[in-house]
A and B are shown apart, each in its own frame.
Chain A
């Protein structure tokens, strides 16, 4: 995957210090309600950052703004050097370089698992049929869904659907994959398989920004955790910081609750 990625995007000499995605002073208002308030963050090549925080705090809105699925009210989003918030940007082209995994999965219901993964290759990257099929199957293999390639979403379990969702996001070899609570709509017994898939991606050095509350997973793979509350970043740091001694009072309280819940489970 790592090798393929470089050749597909055609960028030479990427370093771990290269910034893949960045937002500067990002705001999103819905009428009088401010969902995202002056957020700046940066994700470098191969980095995994994890956003967590209370529900309704604007995490989903933020991650959607980064993918330009929602237009920010103010501020800039950069994908590598390109500013996506400029009016003359071809957003379809930009989105083709970003993988997105939805909380509610949102597979294309009329297409098989293979069809879901293939569509972007055929219609966005315009690959010939044979090559698209090969790459789509390869992506399904990576998420261990090869056997289910010809099943429709309605014939798959939630966990299987989400793995197809991940394959659909990674098949175009995007610069970054954004995941919006990829496991929170799943039944508890199905979360494990999706987490395993994400762990595989992490091992391959995939650049990811994940909104999630899966704390053991976060501790294992995240380079940095971002505590988000009331539309803004409250505290950032390595996972160990949050597990041992978060600085802010809010993060402390939230972590205590999360850890208690995890122990119960």
Chain B
């Protein structure tokens, strides 16, 4: 156990990275996801088709492949080098956006029709109705799905080692290689993920309860 304590600073560095990627990835993903959902619902056929291709790509391929493409292929084509951290964050955000767009669009469709008509009837524009009426309801419905999103993003940070960004998994790998104590190291890494995911799930629950409004709940 003491030897793990010796490496604690390195583990901590890796953990911070995991946290950064999940939190920023999910938040940027949320912002993009909202835009994609609106684009898909109201953007017309061409925009909606483009968005579907985008979503299919990010949901239908392994995140490792996405990292490879963005880190090796695209800079190669453009003949530049991109900072691996930024590439990682970009891929995480785009990937998360693809999933979140699905949740948000579904929730918007669930509240859409009568609420849009009601919004227009008091003189709000379509955009105002989306901002002040549809999204506040849809986002509340979407919060429970964030738990899944956080957990899947957290686990995906392990894949970052393929582009040389060292999250806890990468840190664990090098420490295990040095110490040959694979069982303890990887068990410890797994526990770190587990704790972080549990914390995020809990926070999601708290947020959901906090902003919950009678009448806008996910029926069990």
Q: Determine whether the beta carbon of B115 is less than 8 Å from that of A95.
A: no
- A92-107 interface with B by 8 A CB criterion: 92-93, 95-98, 100, 102, 104, 106-107
With both chains docked as a complex, state the minimum distance between the C-beta of B120 and any C-beta of chain A, in angstroms.
6
Contact indicator B122/A168 (Cβ below 8 Å)? yes
Whether the Cβ atoms of B214 and A108 lie closer than 8 Å is no
Q: Are B132 and A119 in contact (CB under 8 A)?
A: yes
B114 pairs with A124, CB closer than 8 A: no
Q: Are B137 and A123 in contact (CB under 8 A)?
A: no
Tell me whether B214 and A119 are in contact (CB under 8 A).
no
A93, A102, A109, A152: which has the most chain B beta carbons within 10 Å?
Answer: A109
Asked if A106 and B114 make an inter-chain contact with CB atoms under 8 angstroms apart, the answer reads yes
B122 to chain A: which residues have CB within 8 Å? Answer: 95-96, 100, 119-120, 124, 168-169, 172
Task: Give residues 157-192 of A contacting B (CB, 8 Å).
Answer: 168-169, 172
Interface size on B, residues (CB 8 A): 22
Report the bound CA distance from A93 to B124 in whole Å. Answer: 8
Question: Which residues of chain B are near A97, meaning CB under 8 Å?
Answer: 123
**In the docked arrangement, what's the CA distance between A97 and B121, Å?**
10
Does residue A259 face the partner (Cβ distance < 8 Å to B)? Answer: no
**Which chain A positions have C-beta within 8 A of B140?**
110
Q: How many residues of A contact B (CB 8 A)?
A: 27
Any B CB within 8 A of the CB of A41: no
Count of A-B contacts judged by CB separation below 8 Å: 74
Interface residue A239 (Cβ < 8 Å from any Cβ of B): no
Assess whether A106 is in contact with B115, with CB atoms less than 8 Å apart.
Answer: yes
Contacts of B133 in A (CB 8 A): 108, 110, 119
Verify A152–B115 contact, CB threshold 8 A.
Answer: no
Extra pairs beyond A102-B114, A108-B133, A119-B122 (13, CB < 8 Å): A69-B120, A69-B121, A92-B123, A95-B120, A97-B123, A104-B114, A110-B216, A119-B124, A120-B124, A123-B128, A154-B216, A168-B122, A169-B122
What are some 23 contacts across the A-B interface (CB < 8 A)? Answer: A69-B117, A92-B120, A92-B123, A93-B123, A95-B120, A95-B121, A95-B122, A96-B122, A97-B123, A102-B114, A102-B117, A102-B121, A104-B114, A106-B115, A108-B119, A109-B115, A110-B137, A110-B216, A119-B122, A154-B214, A154-B215, A154-B216, A172-B123
Task: Give B residues with C-beta under 8 Å from A.
Answer: 111, 114-115, 117-125, 128, 132-133, 136-137, 140, 213-216
Closest 4 CB pairs of A and B: A154-B215, A96-B123, A120-B122, A124-B123
Query: Contact residues of A with B, CB < 8 Å?
Result: 67, 69, 92-93, 95-98, 100, 102, 104, 106-110, 119-120, 123-124, 152-155, 168-169, 172
